Structure 1
Amino acid sequence: MTLVQSQIHSVSAHPVHSTVADAMDAAGPQVWYDMTVEVALSVMAAARAEHLLVCDEDGLCLGLVTQARLTAVRDSPGYTDRVRLDDLTDRSGPFLSPLASREEAEDAMPFERLGPVPVVDEHGSALGVLALSR
């Protein structure tokens, strides 16, 4: 005899996601860390994206830059055409694991950090992006 376990699922207007992997969006455009701000803004416009995942030469995720951040840097008084994405990314994260629960992800984020966060595998390769809001 085979046991079958059934579960009752409630239907709601807001789906419940159990892990970050269930709630994340596709990674979107991934670019190299040595790209200039101007080129990154052009890539972003062509892709109609609001953010870019910044990767190193091995494809490991170094961070994420948003259109707002790139525009602010470009419009700042100290801007030169030599500013690269590597100058703008925080290699220490935050990064999320696809196995973390959404609640764990929100609890781990600094309160002032809202918006998209890279989701990476155990090797540091980008799998997607989780948009956090409070």
Structure 2
Amino acid sequence: MTMALEHPADFAADSATTVGDVMTRPELQISDDVMVDTALDILLSSGAPHALVRDDEGRCAGLLTRMHLAPFRARSWYTERTPVRAVKHDRAPFATAGMPAAAAAATMRSRGLDAWPVVDDDGHVIGLLSL
């Protein structure tokens, strides 16, 4: 018996598809001056796997995941005094809305990203691309 496996349609399969066509609205955003313990509480209570990080001018500063905050789960005086900007997390370069979706998917795979912020020309978040 021969069985053929079908691959689900992938947004990267269509060469005319852009990131702007497939991005979603980012649900959770935090400021980079939020303390690590607060960021951890936000991520855990929301159930979200990640949060977009903005700088004090509202521009995208990166994507923070639960894995980035894992070393801080012990909750010490250090987590109460450490801002998110001091934590190593995924930073630029970011995707743009006009970027081909296939190129964005390849970049995400090569960088090991499950989600990638999409920014406008000024660096403000306009969406989130997920594999």
TM class, shorter-chain normalised?
Answer: 0.7 to 0.9
| 1:14 aligned onto 2:9 | yes
Q: Report which of the two structures shows the higher radius of gyration computed on alpha carbons.
A: 1
- Aligned-pair distance for 1:40? 0.6
Cα distance change of structure 1 residues 67 and 79 upon mapping to structure 2, 3 Å threshold: farther
Hey, which of these two has a bigger chunk of helix by percent? 2
Q: Which residue of 2 aligns with 1:39?
A: 38
Structure 1: where are the runs of 5+ without partners?
A: 1-12
Q: Which residue of 2 aligns with 1:102?
A: 101
Aligned-partner residue type, residue 120 of structure 2: D
Residues 65-109 of structure 1 show CA distances to partners (whole Å, capped at 9, x for unaligned) of: 011221x22147x98222221012558513000111111113334
Aligned-partner residue type, residue 80 of structure 1: Y
Q: Which residue of 2 aligns with 1:50?
A: 49
Q: Which residue of 1 aligns with 2:117?
A: 118
Instruction: Please report the TM-score for the alignment, with normalisation by the length of structure 2.
Output: 0.76
Q: Which residue of 2 aligns with 1:5?
A: none
Q: Which residue of 1 aligns with 2:71?
A: 73
Contact 1:64 1:89 in 2 (8 A): no
Structure 1 moving runs of 4+ over 4 Å: 89-92
Structure 2: where are the runs of 5+ without partners?
A: 1-7
Question: What is the rounded CA distance, in whole Å, between the counterparts of 1:29 and 1:58 in structure 2?
Answer: 17
Instruction: Please report the TM-score for the alignment, with normalisation by the length of structure 1.
Output: 0.74
- Percent identical among aligned pairs is 30
Cα distance change of structure 1 residues 110 and 93 upon mapping to structure 2, 3 Å threshold: farther
